[in-house]
Amino acid sequence: MTSPHLILVADDDPDILQLVVFRLQRLGHEVLTASNGQDALDLAREWHPALAVLDVSMPGLTGYQVTEALRSDPETTAIRIVLLTARVQDADIQRGREVGADAYMTKPFSPQELAGQVQELLGEIQPVGRT
């Protein structure tokens, strides 16, 4: 088991949210949850998680917008970001790259793959402790 990190998960679909949370908790991480973009942004600014798993299509702010906001703020720019989306058009994937996400996973994704992706991203950065 790796060292625990604080991870933010945001998805407006409670089932998927629970699925991701369960998987990440099993890896030993601490998880913050949000069901819309604004909450996700507020939590990220308050808690500075090591990584954020964001759904693209959320009410209020989209995952793209949250990513852009986090990247433009020096306080939060280091947060690793994984975008989850059911949008598979090439233009959407392109958009994901442009806003600066570290990884882009299309739904349906395998929770195991997501876990692998998260661990890989976390292994690359220095663990960020809770503030």
**Residue 1 found at the interface with other proteins (CB under 8 A):** no
Q: In the stretch 73-112, what mask flags binding to other proteins with x, by CB under 8 A?
A: -------------xxxxx-x-------------xxxxxxx
* Residue written as token pair 């402790």: 129
Q: In the stretch 32-61, what mask flags binding to other proteins with x, by CB under 8 A?
A: -------------------------x----
CB neighbours of 72 closer than 8 A, spacing ≥ 6? none
* Kind and range of the H or E run holding 38: helix 37-47
* Nearer residue to other proteins within complex by CB, 13 or 102: 13
Pairing of strands 30-34, 51-55: unpaired
> Least distance in Å: CB of 119 to other proteins?
16
CB 9 within 8 A of CB 49: no
* Residue written as token pair 């692998």: 116
* Nearer residue to other proteins within complex by CB, 22 or 59: 22
* Nearer residue to other proteins within complex by CB, 23 or 80: 23
The 10 Å Cβ neighbour count of residue 22 is: 11
Q: Contact residues for other proteins (CB under 8 A)?
A: 13, 15-16, 19, 22-23, 26, 57, 86-90, 92, 106-112
